[in-house]
């Protein structure tokens, strides 16, 4: 995209395809997806995105951009058996397998996790973190609580703590897919694309049919590793799975892939799809500007 070149002062596209997959945040009612959420005024500046001047994605309270029209089933802050309040982009993931340990969570641990979810809905990350720590103290094998904690501290730029929390789950509960994607998101923040590829591939080993988020990370990793055919394949697979458009940023990834492949028509088509699910006036204006620049270059 022309804007990618401008943002890098006309640096060669091949050397600068990094797509900063934005992290885990969460907003009040939901959290996935989302992603990630804090208040816009809140606690952190968004991760840098190398190809554009500012993130296309959200900061906590702009989760709608990432999640599309639907909200997480855990958005009420009182998870029932099997429910979670994972932050974006993991809020809509489902477990392909459920080990016995995940069905034996003590009532007290569940209560603490529910309090954490409610605090996230209230946009009170400090309170949420305290309850998450209590939940894993009561039940150290509480995979969802560990990953939610990892996502929360990652969104506060506490990468090592986040990595420790999510890595513990990946070791002790190896079939818990969100743990690998939590680690993939942390790796993406520092552009460790080889790690993102390995972690997303691991997630897809457990769930190759319903996990659009894992395919999105897989696509972004391949894009930045200059494996464009594989990137396109994974991006299209993500779109095919995510029929409810919970994670529309994959269209932006695909637009970058088509830019790298020199296909401006397909690039513009993906940006138009992405535009359908954006609610932020700033992001709408940005994408429209990109499209206008593309149209100038193609003469359309």
pLDDT for the residue 84: 86
Q: pLDDT tens digits for the chain (300 residues)?
A: 433 323 333 333 333 333 333 322 222 222 223 333 222 222 332 222 333 323 333 322 232 233 333 344 344 444 444 578 999 999 888 766 666 667 789 999 999 999 999 999 999 999 999 999 999 999 999 999 999 999 999 999 999 999 999 999 998 899 999 999 999 999 999 999 999 999 999 999 999 999 999 999 999 999 999 999 999 999 999 999 999 888 888 999 999 999 999 999 999 999 999 999 988 888 889 899 989 988 887 776
pLDDT of residue 298: 74
Q: Quick one: tokens of 214?
A: 């894992």
> Which pLDDT value is given to residue 97?
65
Burial of 101 (0-12, 13-18, 19+ CB in 10 A): middle
Nearest to 85 by CA among 153, 132, 15: 132
pLDDT in tens, 210-241: 999 999 999 999 999 999 999 999 999 999 99
Sorted by sequence, the CB contacts under 8 Å of residue 42 that are 6+ apart come out as: 59, 60, 61, 123
| Superfamily of 2-298 according to CATH | Tetratricopeptide repeat domain (1.25.40.10)
Q: Quick one: which of 222, 172, 167, 223 has its CA closest to 197?
A: 222
The pLDDT, as a whole number, for residue 8 is: 30
Strand partners, 89: 33
Domain ranges, ordered by start, for the chain = 2-298
According to the model, what pLDDT value does residue 300 have?
Answer: 62
What's the predicted TM-score (pTM) here? 0.74
Q: Give pLDDT tens digits for 80-110.
A: 445 789 999 998 887 666 666 677 899 999 9
- Left if phi > 0, otherwise alpha if psi is -120 to 50, otherwise beta: which for 82? left
Q: How high is the pLDDT of residue 96?
A: 65
Which residues are bridge partners to 254 per DSSP? Answer: none
- Spatial CA neighbour of 108 closest among 136, 89, 67: 136
- The token pair at 62 is 């702009």
Q: Which two tokens stand for residue 261?
A: 């492949």
């Amino acid at each position: 995209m022309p804007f990618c070149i401008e943002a890098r002062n006309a640096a060669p596209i091949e050397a600068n395809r990094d797509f900063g997959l934005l992290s885990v945040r969460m907003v009040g009612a939901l959290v996935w997806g989302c992603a990630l959420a804090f208040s816009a005024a809140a606690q952190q500046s968004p991760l840098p995105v190398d190809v554009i001047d500012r993130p296309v994605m959200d900061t906590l309270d702009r989760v709608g951009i990432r999640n599309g029209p639907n909200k997480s089933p855990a958005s009420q802050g009182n998870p029932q058996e099997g429910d979670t309040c994972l932050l974006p982009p993991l809020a809509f993931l489902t477990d392909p397998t459920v080990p016995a340990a995940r069905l034996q969570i003590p009532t007290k641990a569940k209560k603490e996790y529910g309090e954490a979810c409610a605090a996230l809905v209230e946009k009170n990350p400090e309170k949420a973190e305290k309850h998450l720590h209590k939940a894993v103290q009561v039940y150290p094998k509480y995979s969802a609580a560990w990953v939610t904690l990892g996502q929360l501290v990652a969104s506060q730029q506490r990468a090592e703590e986040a990595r420790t929390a999510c890595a513990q789950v990946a070791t002790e509960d190896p079939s818990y897919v969100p743990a690998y994607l939590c680690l993939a998101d942390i790796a993406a923040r520092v552009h460790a694309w080889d790690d993102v590829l390995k972690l997303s591939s691991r997630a897809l080993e457990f769930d190759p049919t319903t996990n659009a988020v894992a395919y999105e990370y897989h696509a972004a990793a391949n894009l930045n590793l200059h494996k464009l055919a594989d990137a396109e394949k994974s991006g299209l697979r993500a779109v095919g799975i995510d029929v409810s458009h919970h994670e529309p940023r994959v269209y932006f990834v695909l637009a970058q892939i088509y830019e790298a492949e020199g296909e401006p028509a397909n690039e513009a088509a993906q940006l138009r799809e992405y535009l359908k699910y954006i609610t932020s006036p700033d992001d709408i204006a940005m994408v429209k500007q990109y499209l206008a620049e593309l149209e100038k270059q193609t003469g359309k």
